[in-house]
Chain A
Amino acid sequence: MASSHTPRRTGFAGVAETVITLWALFGGVVLIALVVVNIYAVLSGFAGRRFSGDFELTEMFAAVAAFCFLPYTQLSDANVTADIFTSRASPRWVALFKLVAALVALLFALLLLWRMYYGLNDQRDYRYTTTILQVPIWWAFVPILVSLALLALAAAINFVEYGRSMMRGGQA
């Protein structure tokens, strides 16, 4: 798990990095909301009048938080890779491998953004809701689509960076 420390980027990439980091922090806030909902449910249970909606809110919040984290995971290069087989490869080759991986991430993010946009429409048109609080599920899809757009942005930044690095023969 190479959670390598990325130097702070400048220019457009710098702005994008800030936005992606703030978006991950927003995911952190959703996670804290998840903590609060669950503690409230426990306390309400002890008080004898149990809060009913904790299960469905937990599912929804956890999913939203996880999506918010994806762009940051991409940009901070935190996805698990097995580096041992290529540890003797030249930096140029390593940069090429990373370039290909970033391209896969970019294409997948765009594909998922496109498909989940239709997913959102389905959820809204067919009125999917949670069981008890009847919260429309498409609401959760809105921050998710933002997350996927940012994931594409993060992968694009990586792609450009590894591309440049490859041109320079693998130097960062």
Chain B
Amino acid sequence: AGLAAAQEYTFKLHQPLSAQAPAQTQMLEPWARQVEENSGGRVKIEIFPAMTLGGRPPELINQVRDGVVDLIWTVNGYTPGLFPRSEVFELPNVFEGDLSAANLAMHDMLDDLREDYRGTEVMFLHVHAGNGIQIAGREIRSPADLSGVSLRTPSRTGAWVIEALGATPVAMPVPELPQALQRGTVAGALIPWEIIPALQIQEQTDYQIEGENNYRFGTTVFQVSMNQARWDGLPEDIQQAFRDASGPEWWAQVGEIWRGTDDFGIGVATGAGNQHIVLSAEETQAFRDALEPVVERWVAEVSGQGIDAAGLVEKARTLIAEHSAGN
């Protein structure tokens, strides 16, 4: 059967962002087309953006587990605490700034993380380029500059980062952020540059701050996964079509895609006259030191669930270092 063959396997891929978001146009669509091509046209993946199949973003993981949809792309942080093992890659000083290396390390550690994703078959995991500090009015050079400042947190580990810096974490839906910044409900936010164009964050902030060599203050893990029963019911060659489109090269390439959208975002901010601050080696070290307790806090918290958290930190750091060196 050639490409003209009837599509025998159709999949509904549900994702929370709009159809025009780079996550769909640059990542999900190319991946889906690759799977379809690998299958010789027997697979069709329909992407449903912006929660068009119903529910709110935190429900995506239930939807894929329960077979309401076949595939999802979601942010692990929508459901805090549900993916405790994978959280190791969100930690500052574990993830430093090399997102392709982090993605590849996750690929290597998939067996260690598997329990987080019971009920689903992971297609691929990835991180974004890392949380930077985006703030109005004050230039941040040291953790002390953040004392008592309120920042929007991206996740529960993000909240721990903010607390470790002496600031106050505020959780709110992303679309609230521009107004919250404008009226000072929060002074700033801990988010990647990638989000700047969609929310026009450059208009409400003056400074975008990160450490040397892309050092960021933790990141966020995302997943594309399939309902387990659906996966198990697929013939070997169709499974292979998915696997071939989701190999380590793809995980690394997803890192490049998100690096690209992040670079584009900071370009928008500096183009609008914002100051992009890259901390010096010493300044970065001060943040590194201040954030090490976050790793300890996470180890203590997650060990309580009978998980070898210290072992995960160790392994993640080693693998990220190896992959970074390999680049």
A161 on interface, CB distance cutoff 8 Å: no
B92 on interface, CB distance cutoff 8 Å: no
B155 on interface, CB distance cutoff 8 Å: yes
B81 contacts across to A, CB distance below 8 A: 127-129, 134
Contact partner, B168, options A49, A126, A134, Cβ 8 Å: A49
Contact A131 B82 (CB under 8 A): no
Min CB distance, A160 to chain B, in Å? 33
| Bound CA span A162–B200, Å | 56
- Which of B28-36, B96-104, B169-177, B319-327 touches A? B169-177
Which of A45, A127, A129, A132 has the largest count of B CB atoms less than 10 A from its CB?
Answer: A132
Min CB distance, A103 to chain B, in Å? 25
B260 contacts across to A, CB distance below 8 A: none
Min CB distance, A44 to chain B, in Å? 9
**Interface size range on A against B:** 10 to 19
- Residue in A closest to B80 when the chains form the complex, CB atoms: A131
B169 contacts across to A, CB distance below 8 A: 52, 132
Contact B150 A130 (CB under 8 A): no
B80 contacts across to A, CB distance below 8 A: 129-131, 134
A53 contacts across to B, CB distance below 8 A: 171
Interface string of B34-70 (1 = CB under 8 A from A): 0000000000000000000000001000100000000
Interface string of B65-100 (1 = CB under 8 A from A): 000000000000101111000000000000000000
Contact B148 A132 (CB under 8 A): no
| Bound CA span A131–B80, Å | 6
Contact A50 B168 (CB under 8 A): yes
B185 on interface, CB distance cutoff 8 Å: yes
| Bound CA span A126–B185, Å | 32
Given contacts A49-B168, A52-B171, contact A131 B148 (CB under 8 A): no
* A/B interface sample: 15 pairs, CB < 8 A: A45-B185, A49-B148, A52-B159, A55-B172, A126-B79, A127-B81, A128-B81, A129-B80, A131-B153, A131-B156, A131-B159, A132-B156, A132-B159, A132-B169, A132-B171
